């Protein structure tokens, strides 16, 4: 069977060898970190060591609550926000959207960038406490939000208000510096660590309501210590490769545009590992099947949305109609992606286009 090409790293990227070894090693020596005996204390020490290493690697000096991933980190933050008036950007991941009650959303422009005017207009009349969720990079398009400007807008002249900001950094943690948010959600399986582990970084845990259980009462359930140790190892082993990803993506996009394709969010700064492309006239589902049969794994929208192929709320928030949004696929790179992978994808893109023309 010919080797497959994996271009869906934004969904999950393969575990790095150092992280896999660290998990395997940790599986071999076991105890519950909450147990008071010597074995439990050793597990607790290993847990705290991993916590310190992850904080150091991410450059975070606040608290860190281990979770099962970014979804749970977001849920803990949103569950613990009490009576804060809440708003989220219109392009958040479903992990945020499923908690965001009410019709209001912070609008984005045609490139997917949060409207600072709209943010200001929502904040000014709102009560004394507000809670805002904005992602660092979009998981479908790679569009990076201008976090410095967003934070400046939120903090400006609002001495009478307490505004907390949760940044969903599932796609950027370990790759780009963390934004100046009060809380940050991260996920290990997006950065070369094992699945099923992540963290909520919190500047001041007193802002969250404790619910009992582990992690100083902010998360229930025995910590997944082998995965946590693998998470630390992945962050430490990660090598900078964003420049290479940017060059690969530029190669891909030049060819796609030359072939009549459309790059989504092309005018915005984007995380170099993710690109979203529209092939006019071809439904994303047909594209996915074509690429899959040709041995190439890509996705339509986020992994969870692509299972159902529902219309992307991200693309419609950017002003695309449902038909156009339904013709967009996501290509995402990992540290192992090379030019041959990109060229193989392009060859299949051209084959599909030629078939369309012939039809």
From the list 26, 70, 201, 208, which residue makes contact with ligand PLP (rule: CB under 6 A)? 70
From the list 135, 335, 337, 348, which residue makes contact with ligand PLP (rule: CB under 6 A)? 135
Residue ranges in 243-282 that form contacts with ligand PLP under rule CB under 6 A? none
**Does 86 contact ligand PLP by CB under 6 A?**
no
| Number of residues written out for the chain | 359
Is 304 noted as a catalytic residue in this protein? yes
The CA distances from residue 129 to 22, 124, 145, in Å, are: 42, 11, 23
Helix, strand or coil, per DSSP, at residue 63: strand
**Does 306 contact ligand PLP by CB under 6 A?**
no
Distant-in-sequence, close-in-space partners of 136: CB < 8 Å, separation ≥ 6: 144, 145, 147, 167, 168, 169, 171, 172, 176, 178, 179
Question: Dihedrals φ, ψ of 19, to 5°?
Answer: -70, -40
**Does 141 contact ligand PLP by CB under 6 A?**
no
DSSP run (H or E) holding 296? strand 296-297
Stretch that binds ligand PLP, among 55-63, 64-72, 240-248, 340-348 (CB under 6 A): 64-72
Residue placing its CB nearer to ligand PLP in the complex, 51 or 93: 93
Residue ranges in 87-116 that form contacts with ligand PLP under rule CB under 6 A? 93, 95
Active-site position among 266, 304, 309, 356: 304
**Does 224 contact ligand PLP by CB under 6 A?**
no
From the list 168, 182, 215, 223, which residue makes contact with ligand PLP (rule: CB under 6 A)? 168
Residue placing its CB nearer to ligand PLP in the complex, 126 or 184: 184
The CA distances from residue 176 to 137, 144, 271, in Å, are: 10, 11, 9
From the list 9, 47, 71, 88, which residue makes contact with ligand PLP (rule: CB under 6 A)? 71
Stretch that binds ligand PLP, among 67-75, 244-252, 288-296, 350-358 (CB under 6 A): 67-75
Angle made by CA atoms 229, 335, 185, in degrees to the nearest 5: 50
Distant-in-sequence, close-in-space partners of 73: CB < 8 Å, separation ≥ 6: 65, 67, 185, 186, 187, 198, 199, 200
Binding site for ligand PLP (CB under 6 A): 69-71, 93, 95, 135, 139, 168, 170-171, 187, 198, 302-303
């Amino acid at each position: 069977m010919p080797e497959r090409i994996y271009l869906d790293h934004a969904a999950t990227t393969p575990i790095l060898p150092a992280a896999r070894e660290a998990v395997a090693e940790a599986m071999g020596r076991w105890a519950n970190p909450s147990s008071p005996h010597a074995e439990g204390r050793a597990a607790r020490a290993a847990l705290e060591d991993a916590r310190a290493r992850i904080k150091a690697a991410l450059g975070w000096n606040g608290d860190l609550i281990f979770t099962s991933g970014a979804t749970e980190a977001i849920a803990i933050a949103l569950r613990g926000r009490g009576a804060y008036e809440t708003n989220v950007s219109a392009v958040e991941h479903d992990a945020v959207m499923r908690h965001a009650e009410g019709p209001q959303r912070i609008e984005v422009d045609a490139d997917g960038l949060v409207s600072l005017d709209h943010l200001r207009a929502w904040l000014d009349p709102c009560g004394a406490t507000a809670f805002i969720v904005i992602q660092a990079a979009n998981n479908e398009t790679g569009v990076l939000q201008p976090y410095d400007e967003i934070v400046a807008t939120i903090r400006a002249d609002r001495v009478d208000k307490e505004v907390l900001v949760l940044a969903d950094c599932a796609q950027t943690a370990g790759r780009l510096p963390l934004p100046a948010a009060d809380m940050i959600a991260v996920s290990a399986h997006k950065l070369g660590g094992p699945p099923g582990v992540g963290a909520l970084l919190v500047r001041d845990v007193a802002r969250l309501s404790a619910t009992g259980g582990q992690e100083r009462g902010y998360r229930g359930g025995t910590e997944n210590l082998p995965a946590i140790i693998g998470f630390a190892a992945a962050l430490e082993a990660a090598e900078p490769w964003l420049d290479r990803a940017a060059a690969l993506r530029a190669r891909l996009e030049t060819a796609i545009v030359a072939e009549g394709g459309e790059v989504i969010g092309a005018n915005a700064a984007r995380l170099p590992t993710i690109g979203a492309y529209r092939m006019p006239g071809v439904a994303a589902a047909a594209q996915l099947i074509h690429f899959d049969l040709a041995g190439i794994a890509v996705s339509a929208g986020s992994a969870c949305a692509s299972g159902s192929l529902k219309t992307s709320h991200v693309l419609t928030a950017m002003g695309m109609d449902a038909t156009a949004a339904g013709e967009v696929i996501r290509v995402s790179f990992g540290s192992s992606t090379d030019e041959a992978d990109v060229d193989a994808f392009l060859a299949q893109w051209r084959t599909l286009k030629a078939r369309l023309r012939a039809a």
